[in-house]
Every structure is written in C-alpha cells, then in structure tokens.
Structure 1
Amino acid sequence: VLGTWASIISFTALLALLVFGDPTQISLKNVGFMTIAFIGVYILARGSVSVSGAFVIPMISDCADYETYLSGRFVPGMMGTLFSFIDKLISSFATTIVAFGVASIGFADRMPDVTDTANPQIFWMTMFLFIGMPMLGWIASLIAMKFYPLDKVKMEEVQAHIQELKNA
C-alpha cells in the first residue's frame, strides 16, 4: 500500500513537472533544471513502482497458504498459474489500448513518430497512456488492498494453523 501510494504521488509529481514545466528543455545535450528534475522525479517514480511490484510474488504464496488455512487444500501451483494467467491477460491488452488511444487522436493508419509535429493531442494521449493508465491500476490496487484480509497478524494465525495440520 505504501509503495502504491508512493507510485501515485511520484507519478503525479512527474505529470505536474511535464504539464507546468517545458518538456522540450529535457535534453542530455543541454542539461538544465528540467533535465535534472525529470531524471530525479522519474527515478523516484520508477523506484516506487519497483517497490510496490516486489511484494506481488510473495503475496501469491500468502494466498496459497490462506487457501490451505481455509480449505485444507495445498494449491500453490494453482495460485501461481492463476496469477500468471491474469497477468498475461491484462498485459495482452496493452498494445490494443495504445492502438485505440492513438487512433482516437487521428493516427488511424500509422503510429506517431519523431517526424510528427508535437501537438496537445499527442501530449495528452501520451500522458494518459504513460501516467493515467497506471494510475487507474494503482487506484484499483488500493481498493483491492482495502479488502485484503491478510495482514501480519492473520498470516501468523495461518502459519500456526498450517503447522498444526503438518504436525497432525
């Protein structure tokens, strides 16, 4: 939850920097305030995403243990497969979402490239795809975590119960 909040806050700062600053001044050939600020905020933002993402894999094990606690069934393979399936399903929509996004701003037959004139439509679609879509995911994650029953105390209870099952 803290990593997700850090992601939301740092990407909001990145959005503010790009909206209120001058993104055309970001250059490694002429390093100035915008370049340094962009690199610094971007590092914080990507670091936050990495921190929150690092907890996903251990949570799969916690969910498998919780299922054993609830039903007595040992299902880590099913939990890992279910996670992998959902992850691949959601990820497979990425290209489609980008294609529909750029088509909605007039690029129906090709993707924009560096030769296209910068305009507000390209900028805002880029911000939506680069920052807005992940924000929607992080908000969904925070909502899901609000109802996530496994905290430190519950996992200690789960582990004690599983140990009793093993001993029996």
Structure 2
Amino acid sequence: KGSKKALVDFTWYSIILAIIYFAFYIFFDYRSVSFAAINFTTVVFVILTCLFKGVQSISSNIVIPMIADCADYETYLSGKYVPGMIGTLFSFVDKVISSLSTTIVNGALAFIGYKAMMPQPTDTYSTSIFAFTMAIYLGLPILGWICSLVAMKYYELDGERMKEIQQEISNIKAKAN
C-alpha cells in the first residue's frame, strides 16, 4: 500500500510504545532492572526496549525509500531527474536536526542546574533528572512523530499515486526512445 501507510502505521506504533515505555518508568521500579539477578522488571524492560527500539528504527528507516518517491515525483512534475538534489536535501535536514540534539540536551541540563559539569552516574537520583530524561528520551521523539503524522496528512505520494507517477514516467521514457 506504499511507504506512506507504513510510515504512518509505524509512527503510531512508536508513539504508543513510547507512552507504554513511559508508563513502565512510572509504575515499575526501573532501578531494580538487573542482568545479574534477572527479575520480572528486567524481563518487562528488555521486552519493552526491544519492541520500542525495533518499531522506532522501522519508522525511521521507512523514510529512505520515500526519498526515491520524492525524486520520482520531481521528475514527474518538472521532467528533470534530480535524485541527488533530493537526497542531499534530505541529508542536510537530517544533519541539521541531528546537530541540534546536543544543544537541546545541554540547554536542558543547564536549565535544571547542571552548569559546571554533566550529571555523573554517582549523582543521587532526582526528579528533575528523571523528568529531563523522559522529556528528551521520549517526549521529543513523540513530538517529532506527531509532526511526521501531520506532514503525512499533506503527503500525496501513497501507493496508488506512486503507481500513476511511475507509469507516467515510463510513458515519457517510451516516447523519448
């Protein structure tokens, strides 16, 4: 049915699993997770982590074939074959967003009081560190996934539309030969 449907579906799965993951941290004593003495909390943690990371990586990687769809769409609209430009644009946006991550983390750490040094593993547990971690680890991705869902509302390149576009490109190529 197309990359769009897969992206939307797995984005929803990511959001749902992120919420479940957050609930795990609220309702379970995550500090009891131990691989030295495996317990119920550890098993739940491992299962949730595997599911969450798996679904998250699928939703992230579905974007790659969509770059080709966008390149085909540009060819369809303009008659110009510019996959390099489309790929470069995607790569540029990806790098800009990725480079902001350190700034966001450091800004949030400064906001909760870590101005001279980063939190250390030996620091005592605090609600502010927990809230910060949840906001960065789960909140920001959820916000990004919501943005993806909104963007997909306006993304017309579903499976059927791509078949039409690819057929038209084939017709143009056939006429040129």
Query: Structure 1-normalised TM-score?
Result: 0.98
Task: Name the CA distance, whole Å, in 2 between partners of 1:45 and 1:134.
Answer: 12
Greater RCO (Cα-Cα under 8 Å, separation 6 or more)? 2
1:147 alignment partner, one of 148, 151, 154: 154
Indicate the residue corresponding to 2:3 in structure 1: none
Structure 1 segments of 4+ aligned residues over 6 angstroms from their partners: none
In the TM superposition, what whole-angstrom CA distance separates every residue of 1:86-110 from its partner, at most 9, and x where no partner exists? 0000000010000001111110111
Task: Name the CA distance, whole Å, in 1 between partners of 2:62 and 2:40.
Answer: 34
**Structure 1: tracts of 5 or more residues without a match:** none
The secondary structure found in structure 1 opposite 2:165 is: helix
1:90 alignment partner, one of 64, 72, 97: 97
The secondary structure found in structure 2 opposite 1:93 is: helix
Query: Is residue 19 from structure 1 mapped to residue 26 from structure 2 by the alignment?
Result: yes
1:105 alignment partner, one of 112, 121, 127: 112
Aligned residue pair count = 168
In the TM superposition, what whole-angstrom CA distance separates every residue of 1:62-100 from its partner, at most 9, and x where no partner exists? 000001111111110100000000000000001000000
Task: Name the CA distance, whole Å, in 1 between partners of 2:37 and 2:25.
Answer: 17
Query: Is residue 29 from structure 1 mapped to residue 36 from structure 2 by the alignment?
Result: yes
**Structure 2: tracts of 5 or more residues without a match:** 1-7
Task: Name the CA distance, whole Å, in 2 between partners of 1:52 and 1:131.
Answer: 15
Task: Name the CA distance, whole Å, in 1 between partners of 2:160 and 2:29.
Answer: 48
Task: Name the CA distance, whole Å, in 2 between partners of 1:118 and 1:153.
Answer: 52
Note the C-alpha offset of 1:54: 2.0
Task: Name the CA distance, whole Å, in 1 between partners of 2:161 and 2:154.
Answer: 13
Task: Name the CA distance, whole Å, in 1 between partners of 2:78 and 2:84.
Answer: 15
The secondary structure found in structure 1 opposite 2:122 is: coil
Indicate the residue corresponding to 2:77 in structure 1: 70
How many percent of aligned residue pairs carry the same amino acid?
Answer: 49
Task: Name the CA distance, whole Å, in 2 between partners of 1:55 and 1:25.
Answer: 35
Task: Name the CA distance, whole Å, in 1 between partners of 2:38 and 2:132.
Answer: 26
Partner amino acid for 2:92?
F
Partner amino acid for 2:131?
W
Query: Is residue 40 from structure 1 mapped to residue 47 from structure 2 by the alignment?
Result: yes
In the TM superposition, what whole-angstrom CA distance separates every residue of 1:113-137 from its partner, at most 9, and x where no partner exists? 1111001000110111111111111
